[in-house]
């Protein structure tokens, strides 16, 4: 199996970790006899000394990835349009996946984490497999441009020491010790995604390997993402796990006063009235009145990232807003944001699901079934096998998030794993203030203000959970 794991970003005052895990394994089902003799990691695939350390080894980088300075200059400097296209593609895919998952309960995704994990997998796909993945991910342009744009994200997020913002992202390839990975693929993911390979006994000691990967994710996400890979997700057929982890923690540019927080009414998705701790503030914020909703955006310290809130004008209007909202609509709405005097009431909330999302059914429904089909899949850009039963196939894509928002800011994390098995203007002086009273279900997002890419997006139907 090949897994791609991602952990989310973490922000003071708002906390969101995300993890995406992709597991890849062999095409043959049932008990595996293992790869053919001699199918070992090539010398180019051998991990560094740091990559064989324990998950929490202090000798390695905190986020488990190579420093951004190691990204080659020639692949780390795309033009602005290439970066913009990748951001729009990532957001479009994120909205479509969120809609496909459905539901009305609290939920969150990390479009950026998902794009990184699935993007690493896409670059190892060939033929129809690659064509389907490219279409579902909305990737536009040639692969060289896409590689430059991904490298730009990594360099931008890891190369700066920011005041009030912690941002960590790590990509890792956990490789079955007997698998031969194409040297070109290892070099490409190193250069564009700062990804390091690490050998694990995925096939021979699956539970130990699963525990190791989960511990690595916990470390990158500051223990916000726990148990990304459930029991039974790593088997004797697992050959590779592609993992991305993101952690984001940031302080509001203007914090809410804790003394102003008090219980206030909130109407849940089903109309149930409740009292929830609600933060209150008034000041100059970026605000827009659009179509069926109000949009409010609160900046974090430094202004590079911001958290937005989409509040339906109708108490029971969230489903209608979700049907309307897509990447282009949100992009249009954010361009309408202008500074205004706003009175804000916003509940404290946390989105922290116990179980990881298993995204295979949604991804198949969106249009990429071949990647999960052992008879048709082509991931030979990752590892080539002459014997059909030894070809790699995606077994599952796991994703888990954590988002917490309070008076001080946001902390968030996410992780994604792909498992592959064998077989605006100043406010008008004197104008009355706007009101943004979040007393019913709403949507939220965190975005990179330079590129527009969404680090995470979600729904709050009940702030108590």
Taking Cα atoms as reference points, which of 361, 364, 391 lies closest to residue 376?
391
Asked whether 435 and 401 are in contact (CB, 8 A), the reply is no
- CB contact at 8 A, 281 and 309: no
- Those residues whose C-beta lies under 8 Å from the C-beta of residue 93, and which sit 6 or more positions away, are 111, 114, 115, 136, 137, 138
User: CA 421, 87, 96, 298: dihedral to nearest 10 degrees?
Assistant: 120
Q: With 70 as the cut, is the pLDDT of residue 38 above it?
A: no
* CA quadruple 25, 31, 36, 41: dihedral sign: positive
Tell me the average pLDDT of the chain. 84
Average pLDDT score over residue span 347-363: 95
**247-275 pLDDT, tens per residue?**
999 999 999 999 999 999 999 887 789 99
Q: What share of the chain is helix, strand, coil (3-state, %, to 5)?
A: 30, 35, 40
- Confidence label for 24 from pLDDT (cuts 50, 70 and 90): low
Q: In the prediction, which pLDDT does 26 show?
A: 55
> What per-residue string of b and e applies to 286-325 under the rule 16 or more CB within 10 Å gives b?
bbbebebbbbbbbbbbeebbbbbbbbbeeeebbeebbeeb
Q: What is the pLDDT of residue 430?
A: 61
Q: What's residue 432's pLDDT?
A: 87
Per-domain residue ranges for the chain?
13-252+350-423
Which CATH superfamily groups domain 13-252+350-423?
Answer: Antithrombin, subunit I, domain 2 (3.30.497.10)
- Tokens for 81, please give them: 């349009």
Position 80 pLDDT exceeds 80: yes
Count Cβ atoms within 10 A of the Cβ of residue 344 and give its class: 0-12 exposed, 13-18 middle, 19 or more buried: buried
Nearest by Cα to 351 from 46, 13, 105: 105
Residue 132 exposed, middle or buried by CB count within 10 Å (0-12, 13-18, 19+): buried
Ranges 58-72, 285-299, 312-326: which has the least confidence: 58-72
What is the pLDDT confidence band of residue 25, given thresholds at 50, 70 and 90?
Answer: low
Q: What is the spatial distance between Cα 106 and Cα 95, in angstroms, rounded to a whole number?
A: 15
∠ Cα 449 450 451 (to 5°): 95
Rounded percentage of the chain residues whose pLDDT exceeds 90:
70
- Please list the residues that pair with 436 across neighbouring strands: 344
| pLDDT over threshold 50, residue 48 | no
Top pLDDT among 25 and 440 is at 440
Q: What is the β-pairing status of strands 338-347 and 273-290?
A: antiparallel
What pLDDT score was predicted for residue 321?
A: 97
The structure tokens 């004197």 sit at: 430
Residue 97 pLDDT: 97
Of the two residues 40 and 186, the one the predictor is more confident about is 186
217 close to 5: Cβ distance less than 8 angstroms: yes
b/e code 169-208 from CB counts within 10 Å (16+ = b): bbbbbbbbebbbbbeebbebbbbbbbbbbbbbebbeebee
Burial of 10 (0-12, 13-18, 19+ CB in 10 A): buried
Predicted confidence at residue 422, as pLDDT, reads 77
- 149 and 192 in contact (C-beta within 8 Å)? no
Grade residue 22 by pLDDT with cuts at 50, 70 and 90. Answer: low
Residues 242 and 189: their CA atoms lie apart, in Å, by 11
């Amino acid at each position: 199996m090949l897994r791609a794991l991602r952990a989310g970003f973490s922000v003071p005052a708002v906390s969101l970790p995300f993890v995406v895990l992709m597991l890849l394994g062999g095409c043959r089902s049932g008990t595996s006899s293992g790869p053919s003799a001699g199918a070992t990691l090539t010398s180019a695939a051998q991990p560094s000394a740091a990559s064989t350390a324990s998950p929490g080894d202090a000798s390695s980088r905190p986020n488990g990835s190579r420093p951004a300075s190691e990204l080659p200059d020639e692949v780390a400097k795309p033009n602005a349009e290439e970066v913009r296209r990748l951001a729009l593609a990532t957001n479009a895919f994120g909205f479509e996946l969120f809609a496909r998952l459905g539901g009305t309960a609290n939920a969150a995704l990390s479009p950026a984490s998902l794009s990184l994990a699935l993007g690493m997998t896409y670059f190892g796909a060939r033929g129809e497999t690659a064509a389907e993945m490219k279409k579902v991910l909305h990737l536009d342009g040639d692969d060289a441009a896409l590689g430059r744009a991904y490298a730009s994200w990594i360099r931008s997020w890891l190369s700066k020491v920011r005041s009030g913002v912690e941002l960590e992202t790590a990509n890792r390839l956990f490789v079955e010790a007997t698998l031969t990975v194409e040297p070109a693929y290892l070099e490409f993911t190193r250069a564009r995604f700062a990804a390091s390979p690490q050998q694990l006994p995925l096939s021979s000691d699956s539970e130990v390997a699963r525990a190791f990967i989960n511990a690595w994710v916990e470390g990158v996400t500051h223990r916000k993402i726990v148990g990304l890979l459930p029991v039974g997700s790593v088997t004797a057929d697992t050959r590779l796990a592609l993992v991305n982890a993101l952690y984001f923690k940031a302080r509001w540019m203007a914090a809410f006063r804790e003394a102003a927080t008090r219980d206030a009414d909130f109407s849940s998705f089903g109309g149930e009235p409740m009292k929830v701790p609600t933060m209150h503030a008034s000041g100059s914020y970026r605000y827009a009145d659009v179509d069926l909703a109000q949009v409010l955006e609160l900046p974090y310290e430094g202004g590079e990232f911001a958290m937005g809130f989409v509040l339906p004008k109708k108490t029971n209007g969230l489903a209608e807003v979700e049907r309307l909202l897509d990447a282009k609509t949100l992009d249009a709405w954010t361009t309408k944001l202008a500074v205004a005097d706003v009175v804000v009431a916003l509940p404290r909330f946390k989105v922290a699901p116990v179980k990881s999302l298993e995204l295979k059914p949604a991804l198949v429904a969106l249009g990429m079934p071949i990647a999960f089909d052992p008879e048709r899949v082509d991931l030979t850009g990752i590892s080539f096998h002459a014997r059909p039963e030894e070809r790699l196939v995606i077994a599952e894509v796991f994703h888990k998030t954590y988002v917490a928002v309070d008076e001080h800011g946001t902390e968030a994390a996410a992780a994604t794993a792909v498992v592959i098995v064998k077989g605006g203007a100043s406010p008008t002086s004197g104008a009355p203030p706007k009101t943004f009273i979040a007393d019913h279900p709403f949507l939220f997002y965190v975005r990179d203000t330079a590129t527009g890419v969404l680090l995470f997006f979600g729904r709050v139907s009940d702030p108590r959970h």
